[in-house]
Structures are given as structure tokens and as C-alpha cells.
Structure 1
Amino acid sequence: MKPTVARKQPRKHEASPSHSMADQHESIDLGGPTVDSSAAARHSWFPSPPPPIYSCTLTPELVAKAREELQEKPEWRLRDVQALRDMILKEQPNLRTRLDDAFLLRFLRARKFDYDRALQLLLNYHAGRKAWPEVFQDLKPSTVKRVLDLGFLTVLPRPDPNGRYILCLRPGKWKPNDYPFVDNVRAIYLTLEKLIQPEETQVNGIVILADYTGVGMSQASNPGPFLAKKVVSILQDGFPIRIKAVNIINEPRIFKGIFAIIKPFLKEKMAERYILHGSDLRSLHRNIPRSVLPEEYGGTAGQLDMSAWSRLLLDCEEEFVVEFCQPDPLEGVVLPESMLFEGEQASGHDDDTFRGLRSQLYYCY
């Protein structure tokens, strides 16, 4: 029996010493996609994911941080993974999901090693794909190349002093006539999938820097509450990543209306992590130091390079094909009624809400 440990309401569970239960479920893939080591070598600025057979890649400092912040005990790490694996096989035997150690660790770390919450997050992760097929069908970097080419997003090459990579979004680069809004979501999701691979990110989390230069009424009113709710739900409750701060810069007056659409769907803890800087770069530098920012944002890390992250994603095309271009992992799975995503039936109410919020947008504009 697993030793008693002070945790955040984990389910008491006895972990078996092997993958014997998995052997009885041939439809479930224990392993993850094969990582192209040559592609990783071409992008040495970004850390590689853990090896296929898990071996901890965390530094002693990050091991200590994971112990303090995530309740991760190195001596029990794989035992906890096995406990979650056994829960999946017992409670969701038809779920076609990766069961390898590195993959399941993402969910345990994101929920501070609470087995039940980690399992719920895993189910939400897969439910998101089923609820939003426009985003997840045939999801691979080549399908969002135009988004990347236009400079909608990138990842800055240097993490901040807390080891957090910075996802830089520039919504003003998107014009509704260029391509559908969901393509932006697809590019963001692919980026998050790549960011979460290294164990450093799983422990440290990420920071978002959103530059609203050029955002006008056409961009602000396009997604609407229904899509905004889906995006927020996926990021908050359907993806195993820790978003530690969202820095908004150069926001126009209309951003008050944009935030009015988003805020009702944010948990209080996440809403508190939104920091509005306006055009005050000194305010930004108090949260993200100049040493990791490009010159465009008053930093000293050279000019903003939008191509490096694009090349990294495109070089991982095969990896994403294996991960996402497969049969529906929820086929034959019965999910509880309290699942995260409510489906299209909620759109009627959201349309009414949108009409009210659209008037707020015009007022702010």
C-alpha cells in the first residue's frame, strides 16, 4: 500500500508495480510519438522532451521546486504515475490515450499530484478535441503555416528568470478576411503542445505576452462569447499547462469590451493574473525583464524573430501527425454529464449574450 502523504485530496490508490493491466488493453497506446532527434538538434535553443523511456531531466533546483509547489516526491513519482495509469484503465478502459510515464506526468504536475483531478484533466483534454472538431481535425503545423507566416504568435527564445518561456501573441496581425479565427486557436494549441513537452515547462509554467497593437472592431467582435468560452475552457481546464501570467500591452480602449467577453469564463485565480500595461513599457519590464524581451518591447535581446518558432513547429510535422491525425480517442467512451464542454446547444444563449456585449464593444470603441 502506498505510504500516507499530505496531499491535496488525492484518491487513495494502490499502484501496481508493472504495466500488466495495460497489456490487457491492446487498443491503448502506452507510448508517445517518436521524437525526431535531428529536428531537436536544429533547434538547440529549445529543450528536448523527456526520453521515450522516462528518466527525469529536472535539475536539482527544479526537483526541489516541484516538491514545494507541486507536491511531487521524486521517490514516489513513478508510483504515482502507475496509480493514475491504473485508474484510467479501470475507469475508462475504452479511452485511447497515451499511457507513457512522461505524458501522464504532465497531468499529475498540472493538478499537484491529485489523482482524481489529474484524471478529470485528462478526460477534459480529450473531450476538448471531440467538442471542437474544427480545431482538432487534421491538426498539424502545415495547416497553420499562414498564421505563423503572418506573425500571429511566436515563443521568445529566452525564458524569464523563473525559467518560464514566453508565448508572444499579436492579435492585430490577424484580419478576419485572411483566414478563420479557429486557425489562430489551432496555432496556439500546437504551440502549447510543444511547450509542454520539456519537464522544465511542466514545473515552471509559461507566461503570455499579448500585444494588441492594431486590434480594432473587426478582430474584437469576431470570436464571440461561445468561441471565447471554448478557448478559455481548454486553456483553464483542458490542458496540462500552468499559465503564470498574462501581460497585455498596447491595448486599445476597445479592450475593455474584449475583456468583458472573456472575464465571465475565467476563474478568479486566472483573472488576477491578467496585467494591463497599456503603452507603459516600464510597467511591462517590472514583470518581464528587458534582458529576455526583444527591442520592439524595450528589451535588449535583439529584434523579434517570428521565424524560429515557426521553423521548429514545421519541423515537427510528423510528430503532430502521429499525435493528432488518428481516430477519435473518445469513440465508445461514455463521459459524465458534468463534462467541461457543453456543446453547440449552448450557442443560443451565447448569441443573446453576444448581442449585449457587442453593444459594449461599440461603446468602448
Structure 2
Amino acid sequence: MADQHDSLTHSCPPVDPSAAAGHSWFPGPPPPIYSCTLTPELVAKAREELQEKPEWRLRDVQALRDMILKEQPNLRTRLDDAFLLRFLRARKFDYDRALQLLLNYHAGRKAWPEVFQDLKPSTVKHVLDLGFLTVLPQPDPNGRYILCLRPGKWKPNDYPFVDNVRAIYLTLEKLIQPEETQVNGLVILADYTGVGMSQASNPGPFLAKKVVSILQDGFPIRIKAVNIINEPRIFKGIFAIIKPFLKEKMAERYILHGSDLRSLHRSIPRSVLPEEYGGTAGQLDMRAWSRLLLDCEEEFIVEFCQPDPLEGVELPDSMLFEGQQASGQDEDTFRGLRSQLYYCY
């Protein structure tokens, strides 16, 4: 059975040594053959928080690999150690939940072809050039990289909202490569300066539900905090669209700071923030992350521009991503929430 996968899935995408050149602030791609890169402190943290035992690590990976080959023999997925470890860590080494997350990961691509078809950095260069997102060069004191989003930079007439989702997803794919991110998790800083009615009402609940579903249940990353700053009055309406789809633990990780930078600095210290947010780490550079992603074009082509990994796979009835159209209930919900947005505005 394993022979069906050997030519396609046991190895990770080829590593281009030049892809990481010039980006010394961010770790390069993992090597083809897994070798643990965690510091002793992170090994201890992974043991305590993720139930990861170094002496059992590769045994656990093999157990998950065996489950995939037995239960989903037609699934065209990577099976290398580094890739499968992402899913085990994200689900605290629970084999069944890690397998479900892997299936959700691939099902999300099938359910949302507008986002995942031909997904590579060059197709979202306009989003990167606009300054919609970046990753701050220094992690916080807990070792977590900070994804900075600026939704006010996007105007609905410029390009479809799904292009923003594509750029976010590519960024998350890059961020999850280093083992330290898999253990430490990620922090989001969302600056809502300039967000008005046109941006707030554009995605709608069906789109919001898909985004939240992918981030919560379809991607192997741990989002530890979402810091919202400079949110306008209509943010209550925006959050009303998102909140029904958030798990309780995730909803509790949203922190609203308004324009109070001192409040933000209690969550993210000034030493890692740019001057724009009262920090001491220099000016916000939106180009560095853009260059890093664009330099990894070939890597993403290998990862995403391939045949459908779910072709011929029978998924359980309880799969996360169901249907392509919004239900009548979703539309009714949107009408109510849209009126709430106008009231807040």
C-alpha cells in the first residue's frame, strides 16, 4: 500500500537554498530528512503543552502515517515526518484528531477553489504591494511571530476579497514551516485604521464562516492571540459576523485595544513593535515579507499547483467543509447583521 505514495508523498517539496537567502531573520525551509531543530527549552515546552515526547516523536509520526495509508489510501498527501508533525503538534499528539485536521486541511482546498487554485505568491503580488499584510521581523518574548494585518488598505473595487485570503494562507503556510512556530504558536495584530462600511459588509457570513473554519479546524497552526487596534464603531458589527463561528477559546483570545497603544504594549512589548504602533523596532517594513514569499515561488508551485489531492477519496459525512452555496439561514443572518452594521456606522 505504501508504494502508492512513495513517488509522490513521502518526501517534502525540494528545498531551494537560495529561497532563504537574504532573509536571515526568518528560518529557511526544513531539510528533506527530518532533524529536530527545537532548543532544549522548546523541547520542554512541547512536552508540557503538546504532550510531545522526543523519544516517541518519530514513532508517533509513523503511527499517523500508518493511519493515513490504512484509512485513506487514495489521499494524495505528503507523508514526510516534518509535514505530519505539524498536524500532531496542532492536536497535541492525538492521532485521530490529527488525522481529522489533515483531512480538513485538504477538504478546505476542494471546498474553496477560488482561493486554492493556482495558489502561489506571484498571484497575490498586488495584495502584498498594497501593504495588506506583513510579518514583523522579531518574534515576541514568547517566541511567537506576529502577523500584522491592515484591512483598511483594501478597497472592494480594487480586487476580490478572496485575494486577501490567498495572501493570508500563503503567509500561514510559510510561518508554520519552522518548528518553533509549531510549538509557540502565532500572534495576530490587526490594525483597522481606514475600515469603513464597504469593507465591513463585503465578505458576508458565508465567506466569514469559511475563513474561520479553515483557520480553526483546517490548518495546523495555534493562534494564541488576536490583537485588534484602531477599530471603528462598526467593528461591533464586524465581530458579530465572525463570533458565531468562533470556538469559545478562540473568541476569548480577541483583545480590543482601540487607539490605546499602552493597552497594546501590555500584550505585545514595544521592543518588537514598529514605530507606527509606539514601538522601538524601527519603521514598519511591508516589503521584507513580500520579498520572502515571492522568492519562494517554486516552493509553493510544488505544494499547491498539483492534481487534486482528494480525487477518488471518500470523505466522512461529518467533514467540516460542506456545500458551495450559502444556505437560506446564512442569508437571513447576513441581512440581520448588515442592518446592525449600518446601525453601528
With the shorter chain as reference, the TM-score category is over 0.9
Paired with 1:194 and 1:65, the residues of 2 have a C-alpha distance of 22
**Which range is displaced more, 290-299 or 38-47?**
38-47
Paired with 2:19 and 2:43, the residues of 1 have a C-alpha distance of 27
**Which range is displaced more, 240-249 or 45-54?**
45-54
Paired with 1:113 and 1:50, the residues of 2 have a C-alpha distance of 20
List per-residue Cα deviations over 1:165-198 (Å, max 9, x = no partner).
0000000000000000000000000000000000
- Quote the offset at 1:238 in angstroms: 0.2
Which of the numbers 342, 355, 361 marks the counterpart of 2:322?
342
Paired with 1:87 and 1:159, the residues of 2 have a C-alpha distance of 35
Q: Secondary structure at the match of 2:29?
A: coil
List per-residue Cα deviations over 1:2-55 (Å, max 9, x = no partner).
xxxxxxxxxxxxxxxxxxx52354564111111211221221100123211000
8 A Cα contact 1:140 1:190, kept in partner: yes
Q: Secondary structure at the match of 2:6?
A: coil
Question: In 2 relative to 1, CA 345–147 (structure 1 residues): closer, same or farther, beyond 3 Å?
Answer: closer
List per-residue Cα deviations over 1:194-216 (Å, max 9, x = no partner).
00000000000000000000000
Which of the numbers 83, 86, 90 marks the counterpart of 2:66?
86
With the length of structure 2 as denominator, give the TM-score of the two structures.
0.99
Paired with 1:352 and 1:364, the residues of 2 have a C-alpha distance of 19
- Quote the offset at 1:350 in angstroms: 1.2
- Quote the offset at 1:322 in angstroms: 0.4
Paired with 2:222 and 2:5, the residues of 1 have a C-alpha distance of 31
Paired with 1:117 and 1:325, the residues of 2 have a C-alpha distance of 27
8 A Cα contact 2:134 2:289, kept in partner: yes
Paired with 1:260 and 1:269, the residues of 2 have a C-alpha distance of 16
Q: Secondary structure at the match of 1:345?
A: coil
Paired with 2:4 and 2:202, the residues of 1 have a C-alpha distance of 48
User: How many residues are paired up?
Assistant: 345
Paired with 2:73 and 2:212, the residues of 1 have a C-alpha distance of 29
- Quote the offset at 1:351 in angstroms: 1.4
- Quote the offset at 1:275 in angstroms: 0.1
List per-residue Cα deviations over 1:274-316 (Å, max 9, x = no partner).
0000000000000000000000000000000000000000000
Paired with 2:108 and 2:158, the residues of 1 have a C-alpha distance of 25
Q: Residues 56-75 of structure 1 correspond to what in structure 2 (within 5 A)?
A: 56-75=36-55
Alignment partner, residue 138 of structure 1: 118
8 A Cα contact 1:50 1:57, kept in partner: no
**Which range is displaced more, 346-355 or 99-108?**
346-355
Alignment partner, residue 28 of structure 1: 8
8 A Cα contact 1:22 1:28, kept in partner: no
8 A Cα contact 2:192 2:231, kept in partner: yes
Q: Secondary structure at the match of 2:326?
A: helix
Structure 1 residues without counterparts, runs of 5 or longer: 1-20
8 A Cα contact 1:294 1:304, kept in partner: yes
Alignment partner, residue 287 of structure 1: 267
8 A Cα contact 2:133 2:147, kept in partner: yes
List per-residue Cα deviations over 1:27-85 (Å, max 9, x = no partner).
64111111211221221100123211000000000000000000000000000000000
Q: Secondary structure at the match of 2:74?
A: coil
**Which range is displaced more, 35-44 or 293-302?**
35-44
Alignment partner, residue 307 of structure 2: 327
- Quote the offset at 1:345 in angstroms: 4.2
8 A Cα contact 1:111 1:117, kept in partner: yes
Q: Secondary structure at the match of 1:83?
A: helix
8 A Cα contact 2:156 2:198, kept in partner: yes
Q: Secondary structure at the match of 1:340?
A: coil
Q: Residues 1-365 of structure 1 correspond to what in structure 2 (within 5 A)?
A: 21-26=1-6, 28-365=8-345
Paired with 1:167 and 1:293, the residues of 2 have a C-alpha distance of 11
8 A Cα contact 2:5 2:76, kept in partner: no
8 A Cα contact 1:49 1:199, kept in partner: no
**Which range is displaced more, 46-55 or 264-273?**
46-55
Paired with 2:159 and 2:145, the residues of 1 have a C-alpha distance of 27
8 A Cα contact 1:50 1:56, kept in partner: no
Paired with 1:92 and 1:294, the residues of 2 have a C-alpha distance of 46
List per-residue Cα deviations over 1:135-160 (Å, max 9, x = no partner).
00000000000000000000000000
Question: In 2 relative to 1, CA 281–313 (structure 1 residues): closer, same or farther, beyond 3 Å?
Answer: same
Structure 2 residues without counterparts, runs of 5 or longer: none
8 A Cα contact 2:20 2:29, kept in partner: no
8 A Cα contact 2:230 2:258, kept in partner: yes
Paired with 2:328 and 2:120, the residues of 1 have a C-alpha distance of 31
- Quote the offset at 1:223 in angstroms: 0.1
**Which range is displaced more, 140-149 or 24-33?**
24-33
Q: Secondary structure at the match of 1:227?
A: helix
Q: CA RMSD in A?
A: 0.9
